[in-house]
Amino acid sequence: MHMDISNTNTENYNRLWSPIRDEYDAKADELPTERRMKYYDAFEDLDEEVYSVGDWTEASWDQFKAKTNRAWQEFATDGE
């Protein structure tokens, strides 16, 4: 039996994003002010991406998480 879970799927991934974002925000609090401001701008764009996707697949979610991790690494290592 096939169930349409697209709305549930999207809501689940939106809920998954929130604690991930919270974790990165906590780490960003340790960044120098200028990098922290750039971080918030970049991660606001990632927020928009999360909430604009109509239906996540597991593979697309994994790609998004990898993209997020790469973005964080740029902020965490910039200037060091």
Q: Using 50, 70 and 90 to split pLDDT, how confident is the model at 45?
A: very high
Structure tokens at 22: 């919270």
pLDDT tens digits, 14-30: 888 999 999 999 999 99
Residue positions counted in the chain: 80
Torsion angle (degrees, nearest 10) of CA 66, 67, 73, 75:
-150
φ, ψ for residue 48, nearest 5 deg: -60, -40
pLDDT of residue 5: 40
Mean pLDDT, the chain, whole residue set = 84
Map out the domains of the chain as residue ranges.
7-77
Structure token pair of residue 68? 């997020």
